[in-house]
Amino acid sequence: MLKKEINEFITQTDPQTPMGELFRRYWLPVLLSEELTGLDCAPVKLELLGEKLIAFRDSDNQLGLIDEFCAHRGVSLWFGRNEMSGIRCPYHGWKYNFKGDCVDVPSEEAIEFKSRVKLKSYPMIEQGGVIWAYMGPAHLKPPLPAYEFSTVDPSQNYVSKRRQFSNWLQALEGGIDSSHVSFLHSGSLNRDPLIRGAKGNRYNESDKKPVFQVEKSTGGLYIGVRRNTENDQYYWRITPWLMPNFTMVPPRGDHPIHGHFWVPINDRECWAWSYSYHPTRSLTPAETLAMKEGAGIHVVVDEHHIPLARKENDYLMDRAAQTSGLYYSGIEGVGMQDASLQESMGPIQDRTKENLVSTDNGIIMMRQAIIKAAKALQENPDFAPPGIHPEDQQVRSVALIADKQIPFLDVASDALKAVPGRPHQTI
Ligand code: FES
Ligand SMILES: [Fe+2]
């Protein structure tokens, strides 16, 4: 249970909020590469951390992320003409380059006027099929992202995104709460083509009282969850969480490894990014097709990346499937099973009313870590928060079976490191 002020502290990410400042120290995934289809393509409206922005790819393949509104009289540059190395406001023709510099004011005689006009802008880079933005102070820009999914060969990786109508934190809290898998996703363990068939799945089903053991890592946490097996061993599923919003689902058999980023749009909505990659082989055509059709953690969305199953149609609730156990909650698909329940908490969960239990230990330690980092940043704006260094980001999730007396870090510490080309530890 949190006090109201603490709940506000950890959920609000607008400019000048402590958590908003923390987010502004990391490269964040903001667009799929395919959303900026080519040179001089249509600009994309993009709200991030409560800031309304416009993204575009110019004639020279430079990526621009600038204030949505024209400095003249505030027209949305979504209407702009993306042409000849800049975006031109269609109202009176003012033009801006990818850095937000005003480069043309065609109605004014004094050509020096334009040099006094500038829109806010942020750097973007493209890596792993994703366009990333950094929205913090220029002198604190971290090294490029090193998450393994974004550095493997493109044939090994698939990324999707969907709009979620909830605060980012309750989405993240679902991602590090492994205990709900035995309930909410139980119907998918035997059926989903990107999950079924792994030996470990049987322990998810047979032991519904998992024990959490959470250890600190340099970039965040390792959330170890153990379940009993049929003999004197534990089945461990270990989820790395990296500050502030990155997780990896523990693997199942030879299936791709899945994971998420949750990026605040504003305090009431977030982008749920989902990636699936295999560290040592290309994804098969069947796997890629299944992801496009909503298998695994992916979701079928419309042209605005809003899921087809949504609040307005009751997420296509199927009570018969709920009764039979086909889908434990009555909602189809792992991604929408999570999203539907997280949205049902309201746009910002009222954590003054929650009742946490032992399986929420990962959530409790995560909250402590982000509060500590956000407070450290408040005191020292140059503070380098955990998780911004490439070596922090080179982690993997792990699933293994080990003797009961062995602490999970003793058997998993090596496998938790992402080493290019090395097979991952999975069962
Ligand atoms: S409002 Fe954009 S040029 Fe006038
Ligand atoms: Fe889930």
Confidence of residue 46 (pLDDT cuts 50, 70, 90): very high
Average the pLDDT over 278-285 and give the result: 98
Going from the Cα of 16 to the center of ligand 1, the distance in angstroms, rounded, reads 28
| Structure tokens belonging to residue 410 | 């003793």
How confident is the model at residue 190, as a pLDDT?
A: 87
| Structure tokens belonging to residue 315 | 């997420």
Confidence of residue 205 (pLDDT cuts 50, 70, 90): confident
pLDDT for 1-12, tens place per residue?
A: 999 999 999 999
Q: Which CATH number fits domain 148-412: 1.10.540, 1.20.120, 3.30.70, 3.90.380?
A: 3.90.380
- Residue 188 in this model has a pLDDT that exceeds 90: no
Residues of the chain with CATH 2.102.10.10: 27-140
Ligand 1, residues 72, 76, 79, 117: which to mutate, most atoms within 8 A of Cβ? Answer: 72
Residues of the chain with CATH 3.90.380: 148-412
pLDDT for 218-264, tens place per residue?
A: 999 999 999 999 999 999 999 999 999 999 999 999 999 999 999 99
- Residue 110 in this model has a pLDDT that exceeds 90: no
b (16+ CB within 10 A) / e for 50-85:
bbebbbbbbeeeebbbbbbbbbeeebbbbebebeeb
How confident is the model at residue 84, as a pLDDT?
A: 97
Confidence of residue 179 (pLDDT cuts 50, 70, 90): confident
Average the pLDDT over 86-103 and give the result: 98
Average the pLDDT over 29-47 and give the result: 97
Average the pLDDT over 96-123 and give the result: 94
Domain covering 27-140, topology = Rieske Iron-sulfur Protein (2.102.10)
- What backbone phi and psi angles, to 5 degrees, belong to 125? -135, 165
Nearest CA to ligand 1 atom 3: 92
Q: Residues for the chain: how many in total?
A: 427
Peptide bond into 244 cis (omega under 30): yes
Are the beta carbons of 180 and 188 closer than 8 angstroms? Answer: no
Ligand 1, residues 68, 70, 113: which to mutate, most atoms within 8 A of Cβ? Answer: 70
Nearest CA to ligand 1 atom 4: 92
Burial class of residue 320 (count of CB atoms within 10 Å of its CB; 0-12, 13-18, 19+) = exposed
The ligand 1 atom nearest the CA atom of 75? 1
Which ligand sits nearest to residue 342's alpha carbon?
Answer: 2
pLDDT for 328-379, tens place per residue?
A: 999 999 999 999 999 999 999 999 999 999 999 999 999 999 999 999 999 9
Which ligand sits nearest to residue 88's alpha carbon?
Answer: 1
